[in-house]
């Protein structure tokens, strides 16, 4: 396999990993399992409600920066970065 | 003139001077500057501009009101309008930046080597952006007429004039730098009252934490208190789910992929210098958006509690002796009543207002959700300068989004239609002029539609997201991730995604939004499997993917140079500075 193919595969793996987390926090914790999670509380928040209105958004932000950081590493590793 | 009006004139006037000052400083002299700000915008600043571009009058004015009245169910908007940025950052923005052209339809036309694909994309773009811009124009008019008590039309003309100055002169460059200023104005205007109210109710100055805290001077959590009060008055509990899970799921998905597919948002990532800047800039955009979007749930819950406490005087339904007296209404109440967005009827004739869940005895016959953010500081009795700030923030949110949308429309006309199809050999200078004329034309059309909003204005937001989700997002994604995707697959995919989504919306909303032609009742009982028309975009996208992949597998692979193009956009190396035209 060529370097370009390896780079692309590593990219796809990273994207899939990130999107799994993206799906779990929003659709999973915020919608599908929100009612069950609501029996757990953090302060005044029921956990499912917290994920739907706060937690998922914080996770999205962290995910994008994690993705950007890992991609920059991959760019350098496969020597396809811009500098 | 009242003290509040003086404050409002001062604050709104100061922000307008700032926008015009920036417009004069950031004039565009080339098409590159007009379309993509010369690709020289720092990723953090671009993130800020994207935040202002994205957060419209709907985010600023309507969303917290929606949350206040639907509670948990409104989470779909919070997750849907932020989660799309993950898709944008990982699936679209860096690759489209690498391609390095000026518009979204241009990429679709080149990648699928098809003018038809480009024209379909231009049509989707114009319909989605134009429908969106009507709401912004309306928002500007409402903010002016309520706070400065000048006619709706005059307010709208002033707004149009301001956008005209900085968008026609500066193009993307002017729009970007004004959006950065507008972001600062709108986020300040949104968070200051939220901090005040959070302090009043919970003693915690951070609204995100206040929402999870106990009420001041008691050990009852704010959300528990709200649930209890609502249930006592016969409303549904705030934190409980009211709608169907399938519909929530699909609506969230539609809003996410719709967000990622809206051209005016995607174009913002063409303005950064490098591919890696496009990735981090999406993160910064979401940081700036999240500041408002995580504050909104606190604003919503606290506004609902304050509203009930003001009217129902913190007492339980049958006991009405403490309720708000009709001959002693606060000024915000009478002011909003004048606009028709707030109505009451003393059904039992006791001279006081009852606010309960039972429609037969409820006397607050209309509380428009759009007034919650604007009336919130007045309900909480905050100082006048804070109220003036909210007016300026609402106008900033509407102006910044309107400018971004108008720019997307004018670029599509001057670059994709005039330069791309009609007159291919015009010079850079002529194209720049065409861009400015298209922008002026788009402002006039948007202003006209704002003054004479079609009856369906409220319905069309579903259309904008439906179009972007079912046609533009899948086409872009397959263009990057499916190397074998060819012209036939892409065109039929877009048309079938678009067609099925339009069909579903028209069946419930009426053909071309003529309500009498609706064929099925637009209620949860009438929806197929409980899927609302606004949530169908996700299904349309699946249809698009399925049709495109099927047709592509039985037709000819794309030519060699297109396959090379796809390989090239997948690696960041070589993007460098702007690609010449």
Residue B578 is predicted with a pLDDT of 45
pLDDT tens digits for B21-55? 888 888 888 888 888 888 888 999 999 999 999 99
What mean pLDDT is predicted for residues B530-544?
A: 90
Average of per-residue pLDDT across B466-479: 93
CA distance B502 to chain A (A): 25
In this predicted model, what pLDDT tens digit does every residue of B341-380 receive, in sequence order?
788 888 888 888 888 888 888 888 888 877 888 888 888 8
- The sign of the CA dihedral B58, B62, B68, B73 is negative
pLDDT at residue B61 greater than cutoff 70: yes
Q: Which residues of A touch B239 (CB under 8 A)?
A: 38, 46, 49
**Closest among B242, B293, B285 to A55, alpha carbons compared:** B293
- Containing structural domain, residue A19: 3-77
For B521-531, what is each residue's pLDDT tens digit?
Answer: 777 877 888 88
Q: Is B397 contained in some domain?
A: yes
Q: CATH number of the domain at B278, please.
A: 1.20.1730.10
Please list every residue in chain A whose beta carbon sits closer than 8 Å to the beta carbon of residue B282.
64, 68
State the Cα–Cα distance between residues B97 and B113, nearest whole angstrom.
19
For chain B, the domain total comes to 1
Q: In this predicted model, what pLDDT tens digit does every residue of A41-77 receive, in sequence order?
A: 988 899 999 999 999 999 999 999 999 999 999 999 9
Min distance A54 CA to chain B CA atoms (Å): 6
Which residues 293-352 in chain B show a CB within 8 A of chain A?
293-294, 297
Which residue of A49, A67, A82 is in closest CB contact with B572? A82
The more confidently predicted of residues B534 and B253 is: B253
Question: Cβ–Cβ of A31/B214 closer than 8 Å?
Answer: no
Token code pair at residue B196: 């005040």
In angstroms, rounded to a whole number, what is the distance separating the alpha carbons of residues B569 and B470? 23
Q: Is B30 exposed, middle or buried (0-12, 13-18, 19+ CB in 10 A)?
A: middle
Assess whether pLDDT exceeds 50 at residue B199: yes
| DSSP state letters, B516-551 | GG--S--STTTSGGG--GGGTHHHHHHHHHHHHHHH
Looking at the structure of chain A, the number of domains it has is: 1
Report residue B93's pLDDT band, with 50, 70 and 90 as the boundaries.
very high
**Chain B from 233 to 252: CB within 8 A of any A CB:** 239, 241, 245, 248-249, 252
pLDDT of residue B579: 45
Q: How far apart are CA B581 and CA B576, in angstroms?
A: 15
Distance from C-alpha of B544 to C-alpha of B500, rounded to nearest angstrom: 9
Confidence check: pLDDT of B384 > 90: no
- Average pLDDT (B390-405) is 89
Helix or strand run (H / E) with residue B366? strand B366-367
pLDDT at B459: 59
Please name every residue paired with B352 in a beta bridge, in sequence order, or none if there are none: B325
ipTM value for the complex: 0.96
What's the length of chain B? 581
Tell me which residue of B145, B171, B169 sits closest to B156, measured CA to CA.
B145
Residue A83: inside a domain, yes or no? no
- The answer to whether the Cβ–Cβ distance between B571 and A7 falls below 8 Å is yes
For residues B95-118, give the mean pLDDT: 91
A82 falls within a domain: no
B477 or B418, greater pLDDT: B477
Nearest to B571 by CA among B271, B275, B267: B275
Contact A53 B282 (CB under 8 A): no
Q: Record the tokens describing residue B444, joined without a space.
A: 């006039």
Rg for chain A (alpha carbons), in Å? 17
Q: In this structure, are residues B120 and B488 in contact, taking their beta carbons and an 8 Å threshold?
A: no
In a domain, residue B339? The reply is no
The helix/strand count (H/E) of chain A reads as: 4, 2
CA–CA separation, B151 and B173 (whole Å): 32
CB contact under 8 A, A44 and B222: yes
Alpha carbon distance B213, B420 (integer Å): 57
* Domain hosting residue B162, numbered range: 3-306+382-451
């Amino acid at each position: 396999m060529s370097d370009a193919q390896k780079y692309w595969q590593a990219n796809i793996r990273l994207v899939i990993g990130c999107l799994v987390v993206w799906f779990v926090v929003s659709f999973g914790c915020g919608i599908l399992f929100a009612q069950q999670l609501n029996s757990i509380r953090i302060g005044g928040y029921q956990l499912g409600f917290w994920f739907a209105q706060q937690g998922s958004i914080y996770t999205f932000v962290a995910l994008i920066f994690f993705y950007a950081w890992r991609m920059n590493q991959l760019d350098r590793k496969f020597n396809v970065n811009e500098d | 003139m009242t003290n509040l009006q003086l404050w409002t004139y001062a604050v709104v006037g100061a922000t307008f001077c700032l926008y015009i000052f920036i417009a004069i400083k950031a004039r565009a002299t080339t098409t590159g500057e007009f379309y993509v700000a010369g690709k020289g915008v720092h990723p953090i600043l671009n993130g800020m501009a994207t935040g202002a571009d994205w957060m419209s009058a709907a985010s600023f004015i309507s969303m917290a009101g929606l949350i206040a009245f639907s509670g948990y169910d409104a989470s779909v908007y919070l997750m849907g309008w932020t989660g799309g940025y993950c898709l944008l950052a990982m699936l679209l923005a860096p690759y489209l930046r690498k391609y390095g052209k000026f518009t979204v339809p241009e990429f679709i036309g080149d990648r699928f080597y098809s003018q038809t694909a480009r024209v379909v994309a231009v049509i989707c773009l114009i319909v989605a952006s134009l429908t969106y811009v009507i709401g912004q124009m309306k928002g500007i008019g409402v903010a002016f007429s309520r706070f400065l008590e000048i006619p709706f039309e005059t307010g709208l003309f002033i707004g149009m004039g301001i956008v005209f100055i900085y968008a026609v002169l500066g193009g993307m460059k002017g729009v970007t730098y004004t959006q950065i200023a507008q972001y600062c104005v709108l986020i300040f205007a949104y968070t200051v009252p939220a901090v005040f109210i959070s302090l009043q109710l919970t003693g915690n100055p951070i609204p995100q934490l206040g929402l999870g805290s106990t009420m001041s001077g008691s050990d009852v959590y704010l959300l528990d208190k709200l649930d209890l009060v609502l249930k006592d008055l016969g409303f549904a509990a705030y934190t409980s789910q009211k709608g169907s899970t399938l519909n929530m799921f699909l609506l969230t998905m539609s809003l996410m992929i719709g967000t990622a597919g809206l051209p005016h948002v995607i174009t913002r990532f063409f303005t950064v210098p490098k591919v890696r800047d496009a990735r981090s800039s999406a993160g910064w955009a979401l940081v700036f958006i999240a500041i408002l979007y995580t504050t909104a749930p606190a604003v919503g819950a606290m506004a609902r509690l304050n509203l009930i406490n003001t009217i129902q005087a913190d007492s339980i339904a049958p006991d009405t002796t403490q309720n708000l007296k009709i001959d002693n209404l606060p000024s915000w109440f009478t002011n909003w009543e004048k606009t028709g967005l707030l109505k009451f009827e003393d059904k039992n004739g006791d001279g006081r207002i009852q606010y309960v869940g039972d429609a037969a005895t409820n006397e607050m016959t209309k509380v428009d959700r759009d007034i919650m953010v604007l009336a919130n500081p007045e309900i909480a009795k905050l100082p006048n300068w804070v109220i003036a700030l909210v007016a300026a923030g609402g106008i900033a949110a509407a102006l910044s989004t309107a400018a971004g949308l108008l720019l997307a429309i004018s670029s599509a006309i001057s670059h994709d239609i005039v330069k791309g199809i009609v007159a291919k050999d015009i010079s850079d200078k002529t194209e720049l002029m065409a861009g400015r004329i298209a922008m002026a034309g788009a402002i006039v059309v948007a202003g006209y539609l704002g003054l004479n909003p079609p009856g369906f204005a409220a319905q069309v937001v579903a259309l904008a997201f439906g179009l972007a989700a079912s046609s533009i997002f899948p086409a872009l994604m397959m263009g990057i991730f499916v190397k074998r995707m060819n012209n036939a697959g892409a065109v039929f995919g877009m048309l079938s995604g678009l067609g099925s989504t339009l069909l579903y919306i028209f069946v419930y909303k009426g053909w071309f939004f003529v309500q009498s032609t609706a064929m099925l009742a637009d209620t949860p009982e009438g929806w197929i499997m409980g899927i609302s028309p606004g949530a169908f975009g996700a299904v349309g996208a699946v249809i698009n993917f399925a049709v495109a992949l099927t047709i592509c597998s039985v037709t000819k692979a794309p030519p060699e140079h297109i396959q090379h193009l796809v390989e090239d956009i997948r690696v960041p190396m070589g993007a460098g500075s702007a690609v010449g035209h």
